[in-house]
Amino acid sequence: AELGLIPPIPPPLHDSRIWTIPYARNPFFTGREHLLALLHERLSTARTAALIQSQALYGLGGIGKSQTAAEYAFRYGDDYAHMFWMRAATSETLAADFVTLAELLDLPEKDEQDQQRTVAAVKRWLAANEGWLLILDNADDLLIAQEFLPTSHKGYILFTTRAQATGAIAASVEVEQMNLQEGTLLLLRQAKLLDIDTPLEQAQYADRAAAERIVREMDGLPLALVQAGAYVEETGCSLDDYLRLYSTHRKDLLARRSNLLLDYPETVATTWSLSFQQVEQANPAASDLLCLCAFLAPDAIPEDLLTRGAAELGAVLGAATADPFKLNEALEVLRRYSLVRRDGSAHMLSIHRLVQTVLKESMNKETQRAWAERTVRDVNAAFPDADYSTGAMYQYYLQYFMPHIQECATLITQYHLHFPEAARLLFQAGAFLYAHGFYSQSQSLHELALAIRVQVFGSDQPDVAESLNVLALLARILGDYVQAEGFHRQALAIREKTLGPEHPATAISLNNLGVLYRVQGKYEQAEPLLQQALSIYELSLGSDHPDTLITFINLAKLYAEQRKYEQAEQLLQQTLATCERVLEPGHPHIALSLNLQARLSYEQGNYERAEALWKRSLTIIEKTLGAEHPATAEILNDLAELSFVQGRYTQAQSLCQRALSICENIFGPEHPDTIAYRKHLTRILSKREGEQDDGGHHPAPPPS
């Protein structure tokens, strides 16, 4: 934003010196020390260079470019013969300021009727004289500003601009949002809750905590923080009051002009509104892209999220995202105003949170809802059904897609977006999180997916049963067996009614209900359900299908828990042989089979074989599901138990502590597995202390 025009300050040192900085030094200027030092270093280095390179401070409107340039002028002004400030937003403002400068320089052409003659005279003066610094403020179109500059000179030029691309015109320095400490200090000073010379550490605790919350809400945008501080000072409200008011009156507060901020004629809202209009006029696809980004998470927006969902983005934006050249054209326009940032090597975009807020607040409710729906459809189309559960793709989707899916979940709730694609996105994302041990987050998404499916399809449909089945699995894992049984029985009833008793989906419910009973020690109820599921799978899918194999493993586990070791071992050997024949070497089913074989070996006192099998299983699980997955914790705990009975207490403690840490992070302190691992660790520590007391080494007896 342009700074308010105040009569120029007289030259501080030299009578002949011209100084046209148009306002007083800002007493609240905070931070930016690195930027100022970098500018000073570059401009100082330029003094000894053959070719003086101009510098450009670039960034989003309201980010503090003009204030930083002005502070540089006041801080280092004595290094320059003259200090010129020009309004470079348009050729008209530049021409007017050049005429004013001609008068200050007392050039013969100062009274020319033809402005171009006067401008040319000033350009000649700039070319002939040295040691001056010319600050061209708001030079968003650098080509316009360049027309007013001499082709060669011995002065120094500093632009402030929203344009991220400066080419050969200037070396660029980005002005980013303030960090938490800088923003908090600025806000407290502006609100007069902290004296200018008082360090942040001396602020009242409550004031500092509230200020930090506001800084996070404003994403460190200086203009927004200045407006907030002025509002607090003018109204006398507390920072907490402001934050509560902001939650319901964002649009009003961001558009509010303060009488105290003479050097800030533009508000956050007005600063960007013109940019939004200019983007829409220049490239409608760019305008649509900005709207889409406003409804996604602000950071790390994958470009392939846009391109994969191109068909859902409407004719204009869809055509642009489907064509790399057109997408680049749209992004060029947005980068011209620093409305988005682009990491070309990572193919990621980002947008300031307040740009999102102001853009959404400028829309009516119908437009907001339309963009929210378009966003959900786009993300759904981009999120795959294929196997993304292992390796680099797992990390990619977890890090770069899940934040946007969580944002979509918020949009679905906020705008009541109840349609099949919304439910599909929630279900697939929930399944992804489930597969990797993020159970609480998975449960939230699946609950929302279920609610939508019931509303869209009715309560007795296969899609509803699918959601109920996963929620039952989650309830079991999270320790709520009563809820798990209820969900499983609902899912089973729906599947038997709609798909029939011999359908593979019905077998899924039978298998899962059998596992639930096994976990609770209800073996007599569990076995017939698992046998029934196995019969259906073998008839419908064949003996080599992964669903059939997992049911074999579950049945073998049931036998093992009943100490029917011979039956369990025989079934498990057959199953493992099939798994290794038909599945990929690192498939989780192989790890489960190895894990169960290790348990059988352990129970029968064959510790060497048990350890080897558990380590093989651990290698597969860590590679496929990750080092922080509950399945990893289970094997670590098993290895800890093995080390314990062999008297290797230090190793047992280390393994058990790792298992406990994983469970505490995923499930919390009150989950049955967490409690069991904690008790196990206590037993190990107790044994270690006893060993240290008597100085002996006493292996524990084998399990009975």
Please, how many CA atoms are within 13 Å of residue 689, restricted to the half-sphere of its CB? 6
Residue 8 has pLDDT above 60, yes or no: no
Residue 697 has pLDDT above 50, yes or no: no
Q: What is the mean pLDDT of residues 37-55?
A: 77
- pTM value is 0.80
Residue 49 has pLDDT above 60, yes or no: no
Residue 443 has pLDDT above 90, yes or no: yes
Alpha-helical segments (H) within 80-162:
91-105, 115-128, 142-146
pLDDT at 13: 44
What mean pLDDT is reported for the chain? 89
pLDDT at 47: 61
pLDDT at 680: 92
- pLDDT, one tens digit per residue, over 537-574 is 999 999 999 999 999 999 999 999 999 999 999 999 99
User: Which stretch, 112-121, 398-407, 414-423, 680-689, has highest mean pLDDT?
Assistant: 414-423
- Residue 694 banded pLDDT, cuts 50, 70, 90: very low
Alpha-helical segments (H) within 135-221:
142-146, 180-190, 205-217
- Residue 436 banded pLDDT, cuts 50, 70, 90: confident
- pLDDT, one tens digit per residue, over 484-542 is 999 999 999 999 999 999 999 999 999 999 999 999 999 999 999 999 999 999 999 99
Residue 459 has pLDDT above 70, yes or no: yes
pLDDT at 209: 94
Residue 15 has pLDDT above 60, yes or no: no
Residue 262 has pLDDT above 80, yes or no: no
- Residue 239 banded pLDDT, cuts 50, 70, 90: very high
Q: What is the mean pLDDT of residues 435-439?
A: 83
DSSP string for 233-262: HHH---HHHHHHHHHH-HHHHHHPPPTT-T
Residue 428 has pLDDT above 90, yes or no: yes
pLDDT at 690: 65
pLDDT at 114: 86
pLDDT at 6: 38
In which region does residue 479 sit, left (phi positive, over 0), alpha (psi from -120 to 50) or beta (all else)? left
- pLDDT, one tens digit per residue, over 169-203 is 889 999 999 999 999 999 999 999 999 889 898 88
Domains and CATH numbers, the chain: 33-174 (3.40.50.300), 180-255 (no CATH), 268-382 (1.10.10), 626-704 (1.25.40.10)
**More confident: 255 or 492:** 492
- Gap between the Cα atoms of 279 and 333, Å rounded: 6
Name which of 692, 617, 597 is nearest 650 in CA terms: 692
Q: Give per-residue burial for 184-210: e unless 16+ CB within 10 Å, then b.
A: bbbbbbbbebbeeeeeeeebeeebbeb
Give, for 301, the enclosing helix (H) or strand (E).
Answer: strand 301-302
**More confident: 258 or 524:** 524
Residue 29 has pLDDT above 80, yes or no: yes
Least confident of 164-173, 667-676, 693-702: 693-702
DSSP string for 40-98: HHHHHHHTTSSSPPPEEEE--TTSSHHHHHHHHHHHHGGGSSEEEEEE-SSHHHHHHHH
pLDDT at 5: 39
CB atoms within 10 A of CB 183: 25
Residue 48 has pLDDT above 90, yes or no: no
Q: What is the mean pLDDT of residues 388-413?
A: 83
Residues 6+ away with beta carbon under 8 Å from 623: 390, 391, 586
- Gap between the Cα atoms of 438 and 470, Å rounded: 13
- pLDDT, one tens digit per residue, over 94-148 is 999 999 999 998 898 888 888 889 999 999 999 999 999 999 999 998 999 999 9
Least confident of 348-352, 408-412, 595-599, 688-692: 688-692
| High-pLDDT (> 90) share of the chain, % | 66
Name which of 292, 33, 350 is nearest 164 in CA terms: 350
| High-pLDDT (> 70) share of the chain, % | 93
**More confident: 9 or 650:** 650
- Gap between the Cα atoms of 694 and 637, Å rounded: 27
- Residue 637 banded pLDDT, cuts 50, 70, 90: very high
- Gap between the Cα atoms of 324 and 350, Å rounded: 18
Least confident of 78-92, 176-190, 246-260, 519-533: 246-260
- pLDDT, one tens digit per residue, over 342-357 is 988 889 999 999 899 9
pLDDT at 687: 80
